[in-house]
């Protein structure tokens, strides 16, 4: 059933016609799982949603509160309400928040004390995007995640050993609801957990754990950008908090993540705040300000966009000694906000490639394994050696080369069985580099997903998608999933 919330005429219609009669049933929430107009201390919520039946409204320490919904009138701008919603999520320790005025529809996800925008679309797109919305905040999906977390918690408290339960989603489970409820809400303190237990449950890192991976080869067209955007999506779908930094002036990653939807350069909102600004200033343009949530993957991924101006700025930046260190410093400032940062690089032995390799902990070298790309490997090794010399001067450990990623590999059976193993052997014997076990084959879907478009009114606008959002069952999606698992295994300290 399609419903267009943009037709709602006032706040009451957004609440009743859209949220109550369309959205909550469409997301699978029976009427006994949610409450309207709830007062909790000083907080007044439009809707408070639980993963399971909760009638009458009772809040205990382990109540499976999953979602706060705030509905506004169609004429109200949502921006001023975002801060309030963030506060509600943090104070009530609720993992998801939804803010809508019928025209604009935004979902926020909380990790510890940080709240990120993870989905946004126009009201009229809600019906069409329901599968993605359900994957994030559907009732069944929430229940599954909660079960996984409860099992995790039980295993940890019984064994005190790492749990075998896979991390379905990092979204913090509710721990102690830090609220002073009013009369109508009963409270129970019977099973209040210690703060330590709840913080381990919500995955608040004690020390910065962010790992930074540069994806680099000095040859173009070998699959660097394709690797960056889809590996990032694979990590995001596995529940990691991911940041992408585009350091290539061609801005292909910026495009492939959906940040360049404008048709006319007059609408270019990236030129005033991008990676050039970030690298040019030590004191201004922190990552939090420059990164934008990119909708090519659901949940969204933060991307620091590149711009063609990066090319013109190379000489100016090269003259500044500190330009090589600024990215390290700015990444350190967000070390608690992300689990993994992936940096895309230009196909050159340029300053930007150097900056990426200086800032990263790890390197992946995508290659089609053809003779030209192979010859380039000596250049890559030379740059890594150079960069390691520089890193040593600053007491930074050497860059760890995770390996060459065979990408754009032909699916021809004869090639796979005969030529491919020999090409892999050549890399290992002649260049002394390991080839990763995961392979990325040349497949149509992978080239197509970044070229997806959507129709807005009369216009066909770019709407690139990750392979997981474009075709989750495709072989390419499975290949990137395998790659993410392999890389995760290698970067776990
Ligand atoms: N595995 C693949 N299968 C099909 N097409 C691919 C694959 N990898 C990359 N491509 C296509 O090849 C071109 C170059 O890839 P790209 O990732 O942009 O390389 P680079 O960043 O190294 O220049 C793009 O058009 C991309 O869509
Ligand atoms: Mg590229």
Is the same domain home to 119 and 43? Answer: yes
* CA–centroid distance, residue 221 to ligand 1 (Å): 6
For residue 323, the model assigns a pLDDT of 80
Alpha-carbon gap, residue 270 to 264, rounded angstroms: 12
CA–chain centroid gap for 347, Å, is 25
Q: Any idea what DSSP says for residue 171? A: P
Boundary-marking domain end, from 169, 204, 239: 204
Q: What is the mean pLDDT of residues 120-124?
A: 94
Query: Quick check: CB of 347 below 6 Å from ligand 1?
Result: yes
Is the same domain home to 136 and 39? Answer: yes
Boundary-marking domain end, from 204, 231, 264: 204
For residue 191, the model assigns a pLDDT of 29
For residue 23, is pLDDT > 70? yes
Q: Residue 83 sits in a domain of what CATH number?
A: 3.90.1570
* CA–centroid distance, residue 314 to ligand 1 (Å): 25
Is 348:216 a contact under the CB 8 Å cutoff?
A: no
* CA–centroid distance, residue 405 to ligand 2 (Å): 15
CA-nearest of 316, 420, 406 to 368 is 406
Boundary-marking domain end, from 160, 187, 204: 204
Is the same domain home to 1 and 130? Answer: yes
Q: What is the mean pLDDT of residues 72-95?
A: 93
Query: Quick check: CB of 223 below 6 Å from ligand 1?
Result: yes
Query: Quick check: CB of 407 below 6 Å from ligand 1?
Result: yes
User: Of 44-58, 70-84, 115-129, 436-450, where does mean pLDDT reach its minimum?
Assistant: 44-58
For residue 493, the model assigns a pLDDT of 63
Query: Quick check: CB of 237 below 6 Å from ligand 1?
Result: no
pTM of the model: 0.76
Query: Quick check: CB of 445 below 6 Å from ligand 1?
Result: no
For residue 63, the model assigns a pLDDT of 74
| Each residue's pLDDT tens digit, 393-426 | 888 999 999 999 999 999 999 999 999 999 999 9
Using 50, 70 and 90 to split pLDDT, how confident is the model at 315? confident
| Each residue's pLDDT tens digit, 203-257 | 333 455 899 999 999 999 999 999 999 999 999 999 999 999 999 999 999 999 9
Query: How many residues make up the chain in this entry?
Result: 493
Q: What is the mean pLDDT of residues 135-141?
A: 93
User: Of 179-188, 295-304, 314-323, 356-365, where does mean pLDDT reach its minimum?
Assistant: 179-188
* CA–centroid distance, residue 190 to ligand 2 (Å): 56
For residue 208, the model assigns a pLDDT of 55
* Range(s) of the domain holding residue 239: 211-491
Is the same domain home to 441 and 485? Answer: yes
Is the same domain home to 304 and 373? Answer: yes
Using 50, 70 and 90 to split pLDDT, how confident is the model at 165? very low
Using 50, 70 and 90 to split pLDDT, how confident is the model at 147? low
User: Which of 350, 409, 447, 470 maximizes ligand 1 atoms within 8 Å of its Cβ, making it the mutation to test the pocket?
Assistant: 447
Ligand nearest to the CA of 224: 1
CA–chain centroid gap for 21, Å, is 31
Query: Quick check: CB of 345 below 6 Å from ligand 1?
Result: no
Alpha-carbon gap, residue 309 to 265, rounded angstroms: 13
Instruction: Give 163's Cβ-side CA count (13 Å radius).
Output: 17
For residue 307, the model assigns a pLDDT of 93
For residue 456, the model assigns a pLDDT of 73
Give the nearest ligand 1 atom to 228 CA. Answer: 17
Nearest CA to ligand 1 atom 9: 223
Is the same domain home to 360 and 385? Answer: yes
Is the same domain home to 179 and 292? Answer: no
Nearest CA to ligand 1 atom 5: 447
Is the same domain home to 91 and 144? Answer: yes
User: Which of 220, 223, 406 maximizes ligand 1 atoms within 8 Å of its Cβ, making it the mutation to test the pocket?
Assistant: 223
Q: Which residues contact 194 (CB under 8 A, 6 or more apart)?
A: none
Percent of the chain with pLDDT over 90: 68
Is the same domain home to 169 and 265? Answer: no
For residue 491, is pLDDT > 70? yes
Give the DSSP H/E element, type plus range, for residue 436.
Answer: strand 435-441
Is the same domain home to 320 and 433? Answer: yes
Q: Residue 381 sits in a domain of what CATH number?
A: 3.40.50.300
Alpha-carbon gap, residue 151 to 168, rounded angstroms: 11
Is the same domain home to 194 and 215? Answer: no
Longest dimension (CA), the chain: 75
Give the chain's radius of gyration (CA, Å).
24
Alpha-carbon gap, residue 101 to 72, rounded angstroms: 4
Query: Quick check: CB of 446 below 6 Å from ligand 1?
Result: yes
Is 103:122 a contact under the CB 8 Å cutoff?
A: yes
Is the same domain home to 252 and 108? Answer: no
Domain count, the chain: 2
């Amino acid at each position: 059933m399609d419903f267009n919330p943009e037709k709602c005429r006032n706040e009451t219609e957004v609440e009743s016609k859209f949220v109550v009669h369309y959205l909550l049933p469409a997301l699978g929430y029976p009427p006994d799982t949610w409450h309207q107009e709830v007062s909790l201390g000083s907080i007044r919520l439009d809707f408070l949603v639980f993963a399971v039946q909760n009638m009458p409204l009772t809040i205990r320490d382990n109540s499976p509160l999953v979602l706060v919904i705030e509905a506004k009138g169609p004429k109200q701008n949502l921006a001023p309400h975002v801060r309030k919603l963030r506060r509600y999520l943090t104070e009530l320790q609720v993992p998801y928040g939804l803010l809508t005025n019928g025209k604009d529809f935004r979902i926020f996800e909380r990790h510890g004390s940080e709240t990120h925008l993870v989905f946004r679309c126009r009201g009229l797109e809600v019906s069409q995007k329901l599968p993605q919305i359900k994957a994030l905040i559907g009732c069944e999906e929430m229940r599954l995640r909660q079960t996984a977390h409860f099992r995790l918690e039980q295993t940890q408290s019984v064994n005190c050993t790492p749990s075998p339960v896979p991390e379905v989603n990092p979204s913090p489970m509710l721990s102690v609801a830090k609220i002073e409820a009013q009369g109508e809400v009963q409270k129970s303190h019977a099973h209040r957990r210690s703060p330590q237990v709840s913080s381990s449950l919500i995955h608040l890192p004690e020390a910065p754990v962010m790992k930074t991976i540069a994806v680099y080869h000095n040859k173009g067209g070998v699959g660097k950008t394709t690797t960056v955007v889809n590996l990032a999506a694979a990590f995001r779908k596995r529940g990691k908090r991911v940041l992408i930094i585009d350091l290539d002036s061609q801005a292909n990653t910026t495009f492939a993540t959906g940040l360049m939807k404008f048709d006319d350069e007059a609408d270019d909102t990236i030129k005033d705040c991008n990676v050039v600004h970030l690298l040019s200033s030590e004191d201004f343009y922190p990552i939090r300000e420059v990164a934008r949530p990119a909708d090519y993957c659901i949940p969204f991924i933060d991307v620091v966009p590149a711009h063609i101006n990066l090319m013109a700025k190379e000489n100016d930046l090269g003259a500044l000694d500190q330009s090589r260190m600024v990215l390290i410093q700015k990444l350190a400032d967000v070390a608690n906000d992300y689990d993994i940062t992936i940096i895309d690089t230009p196909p050159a032995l340029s300053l930007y490639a150097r900056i990426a390799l200086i800032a990263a902990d790890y390197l992946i070298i995508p290659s089609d394994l053809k003779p030209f790309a192979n010859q380039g490997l000596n250049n890559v090794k030379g740059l890594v050696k150079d960069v390691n010399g520089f890193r040593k001067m600053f007491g930074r450990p050497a860059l760890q080369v995770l390996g060459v990623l065979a990408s754009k590999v032909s699916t021809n059976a004869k090639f796979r069985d005969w030529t491919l193993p020999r090409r892999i052997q050549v890399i290992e014997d002649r260049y002394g580099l390991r080839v990763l076990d995961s392979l990325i084959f040349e497949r149509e879907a992978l080239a197509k997903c970044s070229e997806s478009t959507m129709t807005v009114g009369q216009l066909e606008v770019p709407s690139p998608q990750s392979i997981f959002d474009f075709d989750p069952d495709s072989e390419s999606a499975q290949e990137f999933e395998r790659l993410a698992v392999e890389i995760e295994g290698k970067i776990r300290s």
